[in-house]
Chains A and B, each alone.
Chain A
């Protein structure tokens, strides 16, 4: 069943909508399912992040092929920033603020903030929620969940079930209280933020991996009773186990390692090139032994641009 969660009119008469698709146990009415546990899958907050599209496809395909295993409600919101997706824009066209900084929204500022408030209202009361992000076009990310230290106790058991490679526990200093996840968590809906892949692309393996992870969390929440493949045990790390590598020169970055593999301390990760003079401006080496879970995907770099994040011990 498809439903408009929030609708606002554009000047041309077109309507901007946040749509949701609801999947519920066979033979039950809307009223009857209101007592059942509910899970919400939100994606498309950043219009240039498309990995969530394929995650949702893989998830819904599984739900629809075995409807007898649904014991609760799954609400899927595939495009909460529909205009951004259409325009290949991270933000909302004609609006300066990042959509993931305006939650819980407001009814007296702009239509976009009002739509954010409508979305919060709709998700409120769910047993669990996911907010699926890709990376931007600049960086490639291994499937990971980022949780804040404050909510770690509540979210970690769910995050471990989600079939991601890495769970990053952030210190409380980096709480972003305008995010969808922060708003939902403070309203009592455990909400997991997943980041995976790269902007403007779909990586099929990422979609399958995360669809299985979501199903396994749905099972834990009592929404899904179907068979489950084994999920991987993620590495769990805090801020001080992550090392950063930044560009110090302006030019083209070309990697020479495989993404998602372990590297040794001192191993060359890539070079920044001045192509016209065929000069190597900077050689970048891993500061630690560890796993490259973030790697620069967009070749052009300015000084300061992030090249890689390595999960490992602190550098010697």
Chain B
């Protein structure tokens, strides 16, 4: 294992911004990186990035446990020789250190700053510096979070559109592989820019974001190891997992609440629901009166659940993966 600083920047009245990367690989002479192994002789096969936003704690924990695991696998020669695997557990320590999701000074989202610019604004420079280090890998996995707060069925997302290439999302053996058509604000994400530059990219969504749950994190590490095994980067096969269902994200059925109030949910992420089944009750926050009952519009599985207990009128509280998705085709070149 080779630990190195890949990006640093002076911060006013704070220690410098310092992004650490952990690289793994065994060269053809059998030497591991950091123990005389030659990184330049390795194929840049996989890069895993997390913590671009400072509240993506679970994502960083997943990477940390992956680092621990890969170090052991490197020692026991379970890594396939000739491949470089790089893990960046926390790409934005300046925000994570003070509990902020976005950049401390101007609240910029670094995952809306790619590919960045080396002589631009601070966050543009960080994005550019980071991108320089993570580009030109065969596979790229970004452990990301959604712009709405909530819990997800674990899944990987593949994006259609420019730079579209092969889809090995099912190799993670997560319950779902979702297919997504990028909108205008997706063009500045790491995923989008990775793909434009020839990397087969995946966004990886864990069940939760802002908490540290070792059980959830270990499940996620196993998904990553299954992908690595299937792509012949390791000799190790993590067993278990699901047969992934490929789903177009626009087939997800949104469930919004008809009134504001306190939302008491009757189901959880992963619950199987039937059309007409009670999903949540909305009560008046002050007098407790039930003002609305939210029922399922279809048969399916709860895919997303908003975390906020207090809801506005029309808040998206659930997305349901419907049983009947035949009418929404997916296509990937």
Residue B105 is within 8 A (CB to CB) of chain A in the complex: yes
> Bound complex: CA of A289 vs CA of B71, how far in Å?
57
Q: Determine, out of A62-70, A90-98, A125-133, A260-268, the stretch whose residues face the partner at the interface.
A: A90-98
Of chain B, the residue at the smallest CB distance from A94 is B308
Give CA–CA (A16, B123) in the complex, Å: 33
A110 touches B286 (CB 8 A): no
For residue B119, CB closer than 8 A to chain A, the reply is yes
Dominant SS among interface residues on chain B: loop
Please report the C-alpha to C-alpha distance between residue A109 and residue B119 in the assembled complex, in whole angstroms. 36
A303 touches B122 (CB 8 A): yes
Query: Within the assembled complex, what's the spacing in Å between the Cα atoms of A102 and B219?
Result: 34
Q: Give the contacting residue for A11; candidates B10, B101, B261; CB below 8 A.
A: B261
A253 to chain B, nearest CB (A): 10
B310 touches A11 (CB 8 A): yes
User: Is A9 a contact partner of B12 (Cβ separation < 8 A)?
Assistant: no
A247-298: which have CB < 8 Å to B?
A: 249-252
Given A109-B254, A138-B106, A302:B315 Cβ within 8 A: no
CB contacts (< 8 Å) of A109 on chain B: these are: 254, 316
> Is B314 a contact partner of A114 (Cβ separation < 8 A)?
yes
Which residue in chain A gives the minimum CB-CB distance to B263?
Answer: A11
Which residue of chain B is the closest to A299 with respect to CB atoms?
Answer: B12
Contact with B along A134-146 (1 / 0, CB 8 A): 0010100000000
Q: Is A203 in contact with chain B by the CB < 8 A criterion? A: no
Contact code string B61-83 (vs A, CB < 8 Å = 1, else 0): 00000000000000000000000
Residue numbers in B under 8 Å from A16 (CB-CB): 312
Q: In the complex the two chains form, is A302's CB within 8 Å of B105's CB?
A: yes
Across the interface, do A250 and B10 meet the contact criterion of CB distance under 8 Å?
Answer: yes
Tell me if A246 counts as interface (CB < 8 A to partner B): yes
**B148 close to chain A: CB less than 8 A:** yes
Partner of B285, one of A12, A114, A138, A178: A12
Q: Which positions 4-19 of chain A face chain B at CB distance < 8 Å?
A: 8-13, 16
CA distance A44 to B324 in the complex (A): 43
Kindly state the separation between the CA atoms of A302 and B14 in the bound complex, as whole angstroms: 11
B289 to chain A minimum Cβ distance, whole angstroms, is 11
Please encode chain B, from 1 to 16, with 1 for each CB lying within 8 Å of some chain A CB and 0 for all others: 0000000011110000
Interface size class of B (residues with CB under 8 A): 35 or more
How far apart are the CA atoms of A10 and B315 in the complex, in Å? 10
Q: Beyond A8-B314, A13-B284, A110-B314, is A302–B185 a contact (Cβ under 8 Å)? A: no
Asked if B213 lies at the interface with its beta carbon under 8 angstroms from chain A, I say no
Q: Which of B279-330 contact A (CB under 8 A)?
A: 284-286, 308, 310-316
Cβ contacts under 8 Å, B148 to chain A: 96, 110
Find chain A residues with CB under 8 A from B10 CB: 249-250, 302-303
Tell whether, in the assembled complex, residue B254 and residue A108 are in contact, meaning their CB atoms are under 8 Å apart.
yes
- Across the interface, do B185 and A11 meet the contact criterion of CB distance under 8 Å? no
CA distance A138 to B147 in the complex (A): 25
B283 to A, closest residue via Cβ: A11
Find chain A residues with CB under 8 A from B254 CB. Answer: 108-109
Q: Is the CB of A304 within 8 A of B260?
A: no
CB nearest to B316 among chain A residues: A110
- A94 vs chain B, min Cβ distance (A): 7
Does B120 touch A at the CB level, under 8 Å? yes
Q: Which of A9, A252, A300 interacts with B313 by CB under 8 Å?
A: A9
A-B pair number, CB within 8 angstroms: 95
B184 contacts the other chain (CB 8 A):
yes
Which of chain A's residues have a CB closer than 8 A to the CB of B125?
A: 303-304
Q: How far is the CB of B117 from chain A (nearest CB, A)?
A: 9
Which residues of A from 40 to 88 have beta carbons under 8 Å from B? none
Q: Could you tell me if B315 and A110 are in contact, using CB atoms closer than 8 angstroms?
A: yes
Q: Are A97 and B106 in contact (CB under 8 A)?
A: no
Interface residues of B in 32-77 (CB under 8 A from A): none
> Contacts A13-B286, A96-B148: A305 and B314 contacting too (C-beta < 8 A)?
no
Q: Is the Cβ of A304 less than 8 Å from the Cβ of B122?
A: yes
Which of A138, A176, A246, A302 counts the most B-chain CB atoms under 10 A from its CB?
A: A302
B107 at interface (Cβ–Cβ under 8 A)?
yes
Whether B286 and A304, one on each chain, are in contact in the complex, defined by CB atoms closer than 8 angstroms, is no
Residues of B within 8 A of A189 (CB): none
Measured between beta carbons, the chain B residues less than 8 angstroms from A138 are 105-106
- In the assembly, what is the distance between CA of A303 and CA of B256, in Å? 43
- Known A8-B260, A250-B11; judge A178-B122 contact (CB<8 A): no
Cα of A85 to Cα of B145 in the assembled complex, Å: 27
Contact A246–B119 (Cβ < 8 Å): yes
Query: Contacts A10-B260, A11-B285, A13-B284: A111 and B105 contacting too (C-beta < 8 A)?
Result: no
- Which residue in chain A gives the minimum CB-CB distance to B107? A90
Taking CB atoms, residues of chain A closer than 8 Å to B230 are none
Q: List 16 A-B contacts (CB under 8 A).
A: A9-B259, A10-B260, A10-B313, A11-B260, A11-B262, A11-B312, A94-B312, A109-B254, A111-B312, A111-B313, A178-B183, A250-B11, A302-B10, A302-B11, A303-B10, A304-B125
Contact residues of A with B, CB < 8 Å?
A: 8-13, 16, 90-91, 94, 96-97, 101, 108-111, 114, 136, 138, 176-178, 246, 249-252, 300-306
Task: Kindly list the 6 A-B residue pairs having the minimum CB-CB distance in the complex, ordered from nearest.
Answer: A9-B260, A11-B310, A304-B122, A9-B313, A111-B314, A96-B147
